Structure 1
Amino acid sequence: MSEPTTNQRQPALPGLDAEATAVVGIGLGLTGLALGLRPRLAPATLALTALAAALFRNPRRIPPDESRTVFAIADGRIQGVREVYEHRFVHSDCLRLTTVIGPLDVPICRAPVAGRVAYIEQVRGDYRPLRDPQAPERNQRLYIGIETAWGPLLLSIIAAPLGRWLRCETTQGATLAAGTRIASVRFGGQVDLYIQRDVIEPQVTPGDRTLAGQSRLGAVVA
Protein backbone atom coordinates (compact mmCIF):
# COMPACT_ATOMS: atom_id res chain seq x y z
CA MET A 1 0.00 0.00 0.00
CA SER A 2 1.43 3.41 -0.97
CA GLU A 3 1.62 6.31 1.44
CA PRO A 4 -1.28 8.80 1.20
CA THR A 5 -0.16 12.02 -0.45
CA THR A 6 -1.32 15.60 -0.95
CA ASN A 7 -0.38 18.41 -3.33
CA GLN A 8 2.43 19.66 -1.08
CA ARG A 9 5.99 20.21 -2.15
CA GLN A 10 8.09 17.08 -2.04
CA PRO A 11 10.90 17.24 0.55
CA ALA A 12 14.43 17.63 -0.77
CA LEU A 13 15.75 15.80 2.31
CA PRO A 14 14.13 12.39 2.96
CA GLY A 15 12.23 12.28 6.24
CA LEU A 16 12.05 16.07 6.58
CA ASP A 17 9.59 18.76 5.48
CA ALA A 18 10.47 20.86 2.45
CA GLU A 19 10.94 23.87 4.77
CA ALA A 20 13.80 22.03 6.48
CA THR A 21 16.06 22.29 3.43
CA ALA A 22 16.87 25.96 4.03
CA VAL A 23 17.18 25.48 7.80
CA VAL A 24 19.61 22.59 7.47
CA GLY A 25 21.55 24.36 4.71
CA ILE A 26 22.03 27.48 6.82
CA GLY A 27 22.99 25.42 9.85
CA LEU A 28 25.56 23.39 7.98
CA GLY A 29 26.95 26.57 6.44
CA LEU A 30 27.35 28.14 9.88
CA THR A 31 28.97 24.96 11.13
CA GLY A 32 31.47 25.07 8.28
CA LEU A 33 32.16 28.73 8.99
CA ALA A 34 32.68 27.97 12.67
CA LEU A 35 35.12 25.19 11.83
CA GLY A 36 37.21 27.69 9.90
CA LEU A 37 37.03 30.60 12.35
CA ARG A 38 36.08 29.27 15.79
CA PRO A 39 36.33 25.44 15.88
CA ARG A 40 35.08 25.33 19.45
CA LEU A 41 31.71 26.69 18.28
CA ALA A 42 31.21 24.04 15.59
CA PRO A 43 29.67 21.37 17.90
CA ALA A 44 27.14 23.91 19.19
CA THR A 45 26.04 25.03 15.72
CA LEU A 46 25.85 21.42 14.57
CA ALA A 47 23.71 20.50 17.58
CA LEU A 48 21.36 23.43 16.91
CA THR A 49 21.09 22.36 13.28
CA ALA A 50 20.17 18.83 14.34
CA LEU A 51 17.55 20.19 16.75
CA ALA A 52 16.06 22.42 14.05
CA ALA A 53 15.91 19.48 11.64
CA ALA A 54 14.14 17.40 14.30
CA LEU A 55 11.39 20.01 14.50
CA PHE A 56 10.72 19.56 10.76
CA ARG A 57 10.52 15.75 10.78
CA ASN A 58 8.19 14.19 8.22
CA PRO A 59 8.52 10.42 8.64
CA ARG A 60 7.01 8.06 6.11
CA ARG A 61 3.75 6.65 7.47
CA ILE A 62 1.71 3.92 5.76
CA PRO A 63 -1.44 2.98 7.70
CA PRO A 64 -2.44 -0.70 7.79
CA ASP A 65 -5.17 -1.60 5.31
CA GLU A 66 -8.00 -1.65 7.86
CA SER A 67 -11.10 0.17 6.66
CA ARG A 68 -12.87 -0.07 10.03
CA THR A 69 -10.01 1.30 12.11
CA VAL A 70 -9.75 4.89 13.36
CA PHE A 71 -6.05 5.80 13.38
CA ALA A 72 -4.20 8.39 15.45
CA ILE A 73 -4.26 11.94 14.07
CA ALA A 74 -0.98 13.02 15.66
CA ASP A 75 2.12 11.83 17.45
CA GLY A 76 1.65 12.41 21.14
CA ARG A 77 0.03 11.05 24.27
CA ILE A 78 -3.63 10.27 24.94
CA GLN A 79 -4.89 12.65 27.61
CA GLY A 80 -8.48 11.53 27.92
CA VAL A 81 -11.57 9.83 26.49
CA ARG A 82 -14.86 11.36 27.54
CA GLU A 83 -18.48 11.75 26.43
CA VAL A 84 -19.60 15.19 25.21
CA TYR A 85 -22.17 16.74 22.91
CA GLU A 86 -20.60 18.14 19.71
CA HIS A 87 -22.60 21.04 18.26
CA ARG A 88 -20.39 22.38 15.47
CA PHE A 89 -20.44 19.63 12.86
CA VAL A 90 -21.45 16.19 14.19
CA HIS A 91 -24.50 17.48 16.15
CA SER A 92 -24.65 14.39 18.31
CA ASP A 93 -23.47 12.80 21.53
CA CYS A 94 -19.83 11.95 20.91
CA LEU A 95 -16.73 10.48 22.39
CA ARG A 96 -13.93 13.04 22.53
CA LEU A 97 -10.48 11.48 22.28
CA THR A 98 -7.79 13.99 23.23
CA THR A 99 -4.16 13.71 22.14
CA VAL A 100 -1.52 16.12 23.47
CA ILE A 101 1.37 16.81 21.07
CA GLY A 102 4.66 17.60 22.79
CA PRO A 103 6.97 20.42 21.59
CA LEU A 104 9.42 17.90 20.12
CA ASP A 105 6.85 15.49 18.68
CA VAL A 106 6.41 15.22 14.91
CA PRO A 107 4.10 18.18 14.14
CA ILE A 108 2.15 16.60 11.28
CA CYS A 109 -1.56 15.75 11.67
CA ARG A 110 -3.07 13.02 9.49
CA ALA A 111 -6.59 11.92 8.56
CA PRO A 112 -7.76 9.21 10.98
CA VAL A 113 -10.02 7.55 8.38
CA ALA A 114 -10.92 7.69 4.72
CA GLY A 115 -13.58 10.24 3.81
CA ARG A 116 -14.40 13.63 2.33
CA VAL A 117 -13.58 16.99 3.90
CA ALA A 118 -16.99 18.63 4.41
CA TYR A 119 -16.14 21.42 6.84
CA ILE A 120 -13.12 23.62 7.59
CA GLU A 121 -12.94 26.54 9.98
CA GLN A 122 -9.84 28.25 11.34
CA VAL A 123 -10.33 30.41 14.42
CA ARG A 124 -7.93 32.98 15.80
CA GLY A 125 -7.73 33.06 19.55
CA ASP A 126 -5.64 33.15 22.69
CA TYR A 127 -2.52 31.17 23.48
CA ARG A 128 -3.40 29.74 26.86
CA PRO A 129 -1.56 26.77 28.37
CA LEU A 130 -3.19 23.54 27.23
CA ARG A 131 -3.82 22.59 30.86
CA ASP A 132 -6.26 25.52 31.04
CA PRO A 133 -9.78 24.03 30.79
CA GLN A 134 -10.80 26.92 28.50
CA ALA A 135 -7.92 26.44 26.03
CA PRO A 136 -9.88 24.14 23.63
CA GLU A 137 -12.50 26.88 23.13
CA ARG A 138 -10.29 29.98 23.46
CA ASN A 139 -6.95 29.20 21.77
CA GLN A 140 -6.13 29.45 18.09
CA ARG A 141 -7.64 26.32 16.56
CA LEU A 142 -8.54 24.55 13.34
CA TYR A 143 -11.68 22.49 12.79
CA ILE A 144 -11.83 19.84 10.06
CA GLY A 145 -15.05 17.90 9.56
CA ILE A 146 -14.91 14.63 7.63
CA GLU A 147 -17.83 12.70 6.17
CA THR A 148 -17.27 8.95 6.14
CA ALA A 149 -19.22 5.91 4.99
CA TRP A 150 -20.52 5.45 8.54
CA GLY A 151 -21.09 9.08 9.60
CA PRO A 152 -19.37 12.39 10.37
CA LEU A 153 -16.43 13.11 12.64
CA LEU A 154 -14.75 16.36 13.66
CA LEU A 155 -11.12 17.15 14.38
CA SER A 156 -10.22 20.15 16.53
CA ILE A 157 -6.50 20.99 16.33
CA ILE A 158 -5.43 23.49 19.00
CA ALA A 159 -2.21 25.51 19.07
CA ALA A 160 -0.03 25.60 22.18
CA PRO A 161 1.33 28.94 23.44
CA LEU A 162 4.97 28.16 22.60
CA GLY A 163 4.98 27.87 18.83
CA ARG A 164 1.78 29.58 17.65
CA TRP A 165 2.09 27.69 14.35
CA LEU A 166 -1.08 26.04 13.07
CA ARG A 167 -1.56 25.43 9.36
CA CYS A 168 -4.35 23.72 7.43
CA GLU A 169 -3.03 21.52 4.63
CA THR A 170 -6.22 20.24 3.05
CA THR A 171 -9.22 21.79 1.28
CA GLN A 172 -12.97 21.54 1.57
CA GLY A 173 -14.25 18.81 -0.72
CA ALA A 174 -10.95 16.91 -0.73
CA THR A 175 -11.13 13.13 -0.72
CA LEU A 176 -8.83 11.67 1.92
CA ALA A 177 -7.30 8.29 2.50
CA ALA A 178 -6.50 7.28 6.05
CA GLY A 179 -3.11 8.73 6.91
CA THR A 180 -3.27 11.67 4.47
CA ARG A 181 -1.51 14.75 5.80
CA ILE A 182 -4.10 17.42 6.65
CA ALA A 183 -2.44 19.94 8.99
CA SER A 184 0.65 20.83 10.98
CA VAL A 185 0.96 22.30 14.47
CA ARG A 186 4.56 22.96 15.47
CA PHE A 187 6.06 23.21 18.96
CA GLY A 188 3.20 21.44 20.68
CA GLY A 189 -0.57 21.37 20.55
CA GLN A 190 -3.66 19.30 21.13
CA VAL A 191 -5.99 17.32 18.89
CA ASP A 192 -9.55 16.44 19.87
CA LEU A 193 -11.38 13.82 17.82
CA TYR A 194 -15.19 13.94 18.09
CA ILE A 195 -16.96 10.82 16.88
CA GLN A 196 -20.46 9.52 17.60
CA ARG A 197 -20.26 7.42 20.75
CA ASP A 198 -22.17 4.45 19.31
CA VAL A 199 -19.87 4.29 16.25
CA ILE A 200 -16.50 3.57 17.85
CA GLU A 201 -15.07 1.18 20.41
CA PRO A 202 -12.00 2.96 21.85
CA GLN A 203 -8.74 1.03 21.95
CA VAL A 204 -6.68 3.57 23.90
CA THR A 205 -6.51 4.79 27.49
CA PRO A 206 -5.03 7.96 29.01
CA GLY A 207 -1.24 7.88 28.95
CA ASP A 208 -0.93 5.80 25.77
CA ARG A 209 1.59 7.04 23.18
CA THR A 210 0.37 7.42 19.59
CA LEU A 211 1.94 7.64 16.13
CA ALA A 212 -0.08 9.51 13.50
CA GLY A 213 -1.44 7.22 10.82
CA GLN A 214 -0.32 4.03 12.55
CA SER A 215 -1.60 3.76 16.13
CA ARG A 216 -5.18 2.54 16.50
CA LEU A 217 -7.52 4.83 18.42
CA GLY A 218 -10.55 2.61 18.01
CA ALA A 219 -12.59 0.22 15.91
CA VAL A 220 -15.73 1.21 14.01
CA VAL A 221 -18.62 -0.90 15.28
CA ALA A 222 -21.59 0.89 13.67
Structure 2
Amino acid sequence: MAATTPATPPPGAPGGRPEPSPPTAPRATGGENPLLHAAKLVREAVPPLHPGGRPIIAAVVAAAGAVRLLTGRGTGAGLLATAATAAFFREPRRVPPPRPGAVLAPADGTVALISEVVPPAELDLPREPVTRISVFLSVLDVHVQRIPMHGRIRSVEYRPGAFLSADLDKASEDNERNALVLETQTGHLVGVVQIAGLLARRIRCDVRAGDEVAAGETYGLIRFGSRVDTYLPPGVAPEVSVGQRTIGGETVLADLAVTKDGP
Protein backbone atom coordinates (compact mmCIF):
# COMPACT_ATOMS: atom_id res chain seq x y z
CA MET A 1 0.00 0.00 0.00
CA ALA A 2 1.43 3.33 -1.05
CA ALA A 3 2.31 5.86 1.65
CA THR A 4 0.27 9.04 1.66
CA THR A 5 1.76 12.51 2.17
CA PRO A 6 0.03 14.46 4.91
CA ALA A 7 -1.79 17.51 3.62
CA THR A 8 -0.29 20.89 4.47
CA PRO A 9 -2.67 23.06 6.42
CA PRO A 10 -3.68 26.20 4.56
CA PRO A 11 -2.08 29.51 5.62
CA GLY A 12 -3.72 30.95 8.70
CA ALA A 13 -5.10 27.53 9.80
CA PRO A 14 -4.04 25.99 13.12
CA GLY A 15 -0.56 24.57 12.70
CA GLY A 16 -0.03 26.30 9.39
CA ARG A 17 2.48 29.04 8.47
CA PRO A 18 1.41 32.54 9.48
CA GLU A 19 0.10 34.64 6.65
CA PRO A 20 2.46 37.52 5.86
CA SER A 21 1.14 40.95 6.85
CA PRO A 22 0.62 43.47 4.07
CA PRO A 23 3.23 46.27 3.94
CA THR A 24 2.24 49.32 6.00
CA ALA A 25 2.36 52.83 4.59
CA PRO A 26 4.54 55.48 6.36
CA ARG A 27 2.63 57.18 9.13
CA ALA A 28 1.81 60.78 8.32
CA THR A 29 2.42 63.52 10.83
CA GLY A 30 -0.99 64.96 11.57
CA GLY A 31 -2.05 64.19 8.02
CA GLU A 32 0.76 66.40 6.64
CA ASN A 33 3.69 65.37 4.48
CA PRO A 34 6.82 65.29 6.70
CA LEU A 35 8.93 67.15 4.11
CA LEU A 36 6.34 69.88 3.73
CA HIS A 37 6.09 70.14 7.51
CA ALA A 38 9.88 70.51 7.82
CA ALA A 39 9.92 73.17 5.10
CA LYS A 40 7.17 75.05 6.93
CA LEU A 41 9.18 75.02 10.16
CA VAL A 42 12.25 76.36 8.37
CA ARG A 43 10.22 79.08 6.66
CA GLU A 44 8.75 80.19 9.99
CA ALA A 45 12.18 80.25 11.64
CA VAL A 46 13.75 82.47 8.96
CA PRO A 47 12.49 86.07 9.23
CA PRO A 48 11.31 87.84 6.07
CA LEU A 49 13.37 90.63 4.48
CA HIS A 50 12.49 94.30 4.43
CA PRO A 51 11.84 95.44 0.81
CA GLY A 52 14.41 98.20 1.20
CA GLY A 53 17.18 95.64 1.51
CA ARG A 54 16.41 93.59 -1.58
CA PRO A 55 18.30 95.82 -4.08
CA ILE A 56 21.40 95.75 -1.87
CA ILE A 57 21.24 91.97 -1.42
CA ALA A 58 20.87 91.61 -5.20
CA ALA A 59 23.91 93.85 -5.71
CA VAL A 60 25.99 91.73 -3.31
CA VAL A 61 24.91 88.56 -5.11
CA ALA A 62 25.83 90.10 -8.49
CA ALA A 63 29.24 91.22 -7.22
CA ALA A 64 29.96 87.80 -5.73
CA GLY A 65 28.93 86.13 -8.99
CA ALA A 66 31.18 88.44 -11.01
CA VAL A 67 34.16 87.67 -8.79
CA ARG A 68 33.48 83.96 -9.17
CA LEU A 69 33.30 84.21 -12.97
CA LEU A 70 36.47 86.29 -13.27
CA THR A 71 38.67 84.47 -10.78
CA GLY A 72 37.04 81.07 -10.30
CA ARG A 73 37.30 81.63 -6.57
CA GLY A 74 35.45 83.37 -3.76
CA THR A 75 32.35 81.18 -3.56
CA GLY A 76 32.55 80.87 0.22
CA ALA A 77 33.21 84.56 0.75
CA GLY A 78 30.38 85.46 -1.60
CA LEU A 79 27.91 83.24 0.22
CA LEU A 80 29.02 84.66 3.57
CA ALA A 81 28.67 88.26 2.36
CA THR A 82 25.20 87.54 0.96
CA ALA A 83 24.04 85.87 4.18
CA ALA A 84 25.39 88.72 6.33
CA THR A 85 23.69 91.34 4.16
CA ALA A 86 20.39 89.45 4.21
CA ALA A 87 20.61 89.13 8.02
CA PHE A 88 21.03 92.90 8.33
CA PHE A 89 17.75 93.55 6.49
CA ARG A 90 15.70 90.95 8.36
CA GLU A 91 12.22 91.98 9.50
CA PRO A 92 11.17 89.50 12.22
CA ARG A 93 7.54 89.20 13.24
CA ARG A 94 6.69 90.90 16.52
CA VAL A 95 3.66 90.71 18.81
CA PRO A 96 2.89 93.95 20.72
CA PRO A 97 1.82 93.46 24.36
CA PRO A 98 -1.88 94.04 25.14
CA ARG A 99 -1.36 97.31 27.04
CA PRO A 100 -3.43 100.17 25.55
CA GLY A 101 -1.30 102.94 27.12
CA ALA A 102 2.09 101.39 26.39
CA VAL A 103 4.69 103.31 24.37
CA LEU A 104 6.64 100.55 22.59
CA ALA A 105 10.28 100.65 21.58
CA PRO A 106 10.55 101.72 17.93
CA ALA A 107 13.74 99.69 17.39
CA ASP A 108 15.88 96.79 18.53
CA GLY A 109 19.03 97.88 20.33
CA THR A 110 20.40 99.18 23.62
CA VAL A 111 19.11 102.14 25.61
CA ALA A 112 22.06 104.54 25.34
CA LEU A 113 20.61 107.72 26.85
CA ILE A 114 17.62 108.80 28.94
CA SER A 115 17.51 112.55 29.40
CA GLU A 116 15.25 115.56 29.85
CA VAL A 117 15.53 117.77 26.76
CA VAL A 118 13.56 120.24 24.67
CA PRO A 119 12.40 118.39 21.49
CA PRO A 120 14.12 119.38 18.22
CA ALA A 121 12.37 122.05 16.16
CA GLU A 122 11.43 119.65 13.34
CA LEU A 123 9.11 117.73 15.67
CA ASP A 124 7.00 120.86 16.23
CA LEU A 125 6.23 119.81 19.80
CA PRO A 126 5.76 122.21 22.74
CA ARG A 127 9.07 123.85 23.65
CA GLU A 128 9.34 122.33 27.10
CA PRO A 129 11.64 119.59 28.46
CA VAL A 130 10.36 116.03 28.03
CA THR A 131 11.92 112.61 28.48
CA ARG A 132 13.95 111.42 25.49
CA ILE A 133 14.87 107.73 25.27
CA SER A 134 17.68 106.98 22.81
CA VAL A 135 18.11 103.44 21.50
CA PHE A 136 21.44 102.68 19.82
CA LEU A 137 21.48 100.07 17.03
CA SER A 138 24.70 98.19 16.29
CA VAL A 139 25.31 96.62 12.89
CA LEU A 140 24.17 93.29 14.37
CA ASP A 141 20.73 94.55 15.43
CA VAL A 142 17.52 94.44 13.42
CA HIS A 143 17.42 97.79 11.61
CA VAL A 144 13.73 98.24 10.83
CA GLN A 145 11.77 100.79 12.86
CA ARG A 146 8.30 100.24 14.29
CA ILE A 147 5.35 102.41 15.32
CA PRO A 148 5.23 102.82 19.14
CA MET A 149 1.44 103.19 19.53
CA HIS A 150 -1.84 103.08 17.65
CA GLY A 151 -2.67 106.47 16.17
CA ARG A 152 -2.25 108.85 13.24
CA ILE A 153 0.90 110.34 11.76
CA ARG A 154 0.71 114.07 12.37
CA SER A 155 3.91 115.13 10.59
CA VAL A 156 7.07 113.75 8.96
CA GLU A 157 10.19 115.83 8.29
CA TYR A 158 13.64 114.91 6.97
CA ARG A 159 16.78 116.88 7.87
CA PRO A 160 20.20 116.40 6.20
CA GLY A 161 23.23 116.47 8.46
CA ALA A 162 26.51 114.92 9.56
CA PHE A 163 27.35 111.27 10.24
CA LEU A 164 28.75 111.39 13.78
CA SER A 165 28.76 108.32 15.99
CA ALA A 166 25.12 107.71 16.84
CA ASP A 167 25.82 107.11 20.54
CA LEU A 168 26.86 110.76 21.04
CA ASP A 169 24.31 113.11 22.59
CA LYS A 170 24.81 115.78 19.90
CA ALA A 171 23.91 113.29 17.16
CA SER A 172 20.26 114.17 17.88
CA GLU A 173 20.83 117.66 16.45
CA ASP A 174 23.84 117.31 14.13
CA ASN A 175 23.29 114.04 12.26
CA GLU A 176 21.11 113.28 9.26
CA ARG A 177 17.69 112.33 10.61
CA ASN A 178 14.01 111.81 9.91
CA ALA A 179 11.43 112.88 12.49
CA LEU A 180 7.76 112.00 12.84
CA VAL A 181 5.08 112.97 15.32
CA LEU A 182 2.46 110.38 16.22
CA GLU A 183 -0.89 111.51 17.60
CA THR A 184 -2.22 108.64 19.71
CA GLN A 185 -5.85 107.60 20.02
CA THR A 186 -5.95 109.41 23.37
CA GLY A 187 -4.66 112.67 21.88
CA HIS A 188 -1.09 112.43 23.21
CA LEU A 189 1.84 113.38 20.98
CA VAL A 190 4.86 111.06 20.73
CA GLY A 191 7.95 112.01 18.72
CA VAL A 192 10.19 109.43 17.02
CA VAL A 193 13.43 110.37 15.24
CA GLN A 194 15.52 108.06 13.03
CA ILE A 195 19.17 109.18 13.21
CA ALA A 196 21.97 108.10 10.88
CA GLY A 197 25.28 106.97 12.40
CA LEU A 198 28.89 106.58 11.31
CA LEU A 199 28.12 103.88 8.75
CA ALA A 200 24.52 104.78 7.93
CA ARG A 201 24.02 106.57 4.64
CA ARG A 202 20.34 106.00 3.99
CA ILE A 203 17.20 106.58 6.05
CA ARG A 204 13.95 105.20 4.73
CA CYS A 205 10.53 106.22 6.04
CA ASP A 206 7.39 104.66 4.54
CA VAL A 207 4.68 106.69 6.30
CA ARG A 208 3.26 110.13 5.52
CA ALA A 209 1.28 112.72 7.43
CA GLY A 210 -2.31 111.58 7.85
CA ASP A 211 -1.57 107.85 7.76
CA GLU A 212 -3.39 105.68 10.29
CA VAL A 213 -0.87 103.31 11.91
CA ALA A 214 -0.85 100.43 14.39
CA ALA A 215 1.49 99.67 17.29
CA GLY A 216 4.39 97.43 16.25
CA GLU A 217 3.89 98.09 12.51
CA THR A 218 7.12 98.50 10.53
CA TYR A 219 7.46 102.02 9.12
CA GLY A 220 11.11 102.57 8.24
CA LEU A 221 14.70 101.39 7.94
CA ILE A 222 18.18 102.78 8.63
CA ARG A 223 21.07 101.11 6.87
CA PHE A 224 24.19 100.08 8.79
CA GLY A 225 24.37 101.40 12.36
CA SER A 226 22.15 104.12 13.78
CA ARG A 227 19.99 105.43 16.60
CA VAL A 228 16.30 106.07 17.24
CA ASP A 229 15.06 108.68 19.74
CA THR A 230 11.61 108.58 21.33
CA TYR A 231 10.19 111.76 22.90
CA LEU A 232 7.54 110.98 25.51
CA PRO A 233 4.60 113.28 26.30
CA PRO A 234 5.29 115.76 29.15
CA GLY A 235 5.29 114.19 32.59
CA VAL A 236 5.34 110.54 31.42
CA ALA A 237 7.93 108.42 33.24
CA PRO A 238 10.19 105.92 31.45
CA GLU A 239 10.04 102.22 32.33
CA VAL A 240 13.48 101.29 30.97
CA SER A 241 17.04 101.95 32.11
CA VAL A 242 20.29 102.86 30.39
CA GLY A 243 22.00 99.71 29.14
CA GLN A 244 18.76 97.74 28.81
CA ARG A 245 18.15 95.81 25.60
CA THR A 246 14.99 96.64 23.68
CA ILE A 247 12.94 94.63 21.19
CA GLY A 248 11.19 96.82 18.65
CA GLY A 249 7.42 96.56 18.81
CA GLU A 250 7.46 94.57 22.08
CA THR A 251 9.53 96.29 24.80
CA VAL A 252 7.52 98.89 26.74
CA LEU A 253 9.45 102.17 27.06
CA ALA A 254 6.73 103.92 29.08
CA ASP A 255 3.04 103.89 29.95
CA LEU A 256 0.98 107.02 29.37
CA ALA A 257 -0.90 106.30 32.60
CA VAL A 258 2.32 106.36 34.66
CA THR A 259 3.64 109.86 35.29
CA LYS A 260 6.70 111.04 37.15
CA ASP A 261 4.45 112.01 40.07
CA GLY A 262 2.91 108.53 40.20
CA PRO A 263 -0.14 106.88 38.52
Distance 1:197 1:126, change over 3 A: same
- Equivalent residues of 1:115, 1:175 under 8 A apart: yes
Q: What is the aligned partner in structure 2 of residue 9 from structure 1?
A: none
* Residues 36-86 of structure 1: CA deviation (Å, up to 9, x unaligned): x84x63221111111111121111122122211111100110012121222
- Does residue 180 of the first structure (1) align with residue 180 of the second (2)? no
What is the one-letter code of the residue matched to 1:134?
K
Structure number with greater Rg is 2
Task: Compare the two structures and name the one with the higher strand fraction.
Answer: 1
Contact 2:167 2:227 in 1 (8 A): no
Instruction: Pick closer, same or farther for the CA change 1:71–1:24 going to 2, 3 Å.
Output: same
What is residue 161 of structure 1 aligned with on the other side? 198
For 2:165 and 2:241, locate their aligned partners in 1 and report how far apart those are by CA, in whole Å.
23
Residue by residue over 1:160-214, the C-alpha shift from the partner in whole angstroms, topping out at 9 and shown as x without a partner, is 121211111101001111012222111111111111242x332110001111101
Instruction: Report the alpha carbon displacement of residue 132 of structure 1 after superposing the two structures with TM.
Output: 3.9
1:170 is matched with which residue? 207
Deviations 1:91-139 (A, max 9, x none): 1331111111112211111111111111111001111222444221111
**What is the correspondence of 1:109-120 to structure 2 with a 5 Å cutoff?**
109-120=145-156
Q: Aligned residue for 1:63?
A: 96
Identity %: 30
Q: 1:34 to 1:61 in 2, by over 3 A?
A: same
Q: Paired residue for 1:193, among 224, 227, 230? A: 230
> Which amino acid in structure 1 is aligned with residue 74 of structure 2?
L
Instruction: Name structure 1 gaps, 5 residues minimum.
Output: 1-12
Give the TM-score, by structure 1 length: 0.83
Which structure is higher in RCO with an 8 Å CA cutoff and minimum separation 6?
1
Q: Please state whether the residue corresponding to 1:221 is helix, strand or coil.
A: strand
Corresponding residue for residue 252 of structure 2:
216
Compared with structure 1, are the counterparts of its residues 86 and 50 closer, same or farther at alpha carbon in structure 2 (3 Å cutoff)?
same
- Residues 59/169 of structure 1: CA separation in 2 closer, same or farther (3 Å cut): same
**Unaligned stretches of 5+ residues in structure 2:** 1-45, 259-263
Which whole-Å CA distance do the structure 1 matches of 2:74 and 2:164 have between them?
36
- Range with greater deviation from structure 2 (70-79 or 181-190): 181-190
Whole-angstrom CA distance in 2 between matches of 1:186 and 1:33: 24
Q: Which amino acid aligns with 1:74?
A: A
SS at match of 1:196: coil
Alpha carbons of structure 1 residues 14 and 195: separation in structure 2 relative to 1, 3 Å = closer
One-letter identity of the residue aligned with 1:62: V
Runs of at least 4 residues of structure 1 off by over 4 A? 19-22, 28-35
What root-mean-square deviation, in Å, do the aligned CA atoms of Structure 1 and Structure 2 show?
A: 2.6
